[in-house]
Amino acid sequence: MSLVAWMANIRTVCPTDSGAMFFNCKKYFSVILQGLVDANYKLITVDMGGFGKQRGGGTFLASDLFSFVDGKRISFPEPDFLPHSNVTAPYVMLGDEAYPLLPY
């Protein structure tokens, strides 16, 4: 069972007096939008405002999402049976290589 974490660069104009903090490696200004959805496409969390120049792993580690999960303020359901099976599996977060490998 899984929750899917995702991250996107949202193109924006350069915020006043921000220097290069919002300028990303794709050569435009952006803010980071990150979220977590469940298997029914329900948004669990949305986090917006990360600096465009920040890499994915750093954005996640600086986010409220990481703080909530790591501090156990968001709890995962107990392991459940896989469909049509007697095998139980834990719920986990899935993400691409931008996310660090953690127990959850």
pLDDT tier for residue 1 given thresholds of 50, 70 and 90: low
Q: Is residue 14 assigned to a domain? A: yes
Q: Is residue 48 assigned to a domain? A: yes
The 10s digit of each residue's pLDDT in 2-29 is: 667 777 777 888 777 777 877 777 788 8
Cα–Cα distance measured from residue 95 to residue 76, given in angstroms and rounded to the nearest whole number: 16
Q: Is residue 99 assigned to a domain? A: no
Q: Quick count: other Cβ atoms within 10 Å of Cβ 3?
A: 21
Looking at the DSSP bridge assignments, the partners of residue 32 are: 9, 50
Cβ distance 40 to 3 under 8 Å? no
Provide the domain limits for residue 79. 2-94
68 burial (CB, 10 Å; 0-12 / 13-18 / 19+) is middle
Q: Is residue 101 assigned to a domain? A: no
Q: Is residue 73 assigned to a domain? A: yes
Instruction: Output the pLDDT for position 72.
Output: 84
Number of domains in the chain: 1
Looking at the DSSP bridge assignments, the partners of residue 27 are: none
Amino acid letter at 16? Answer: T
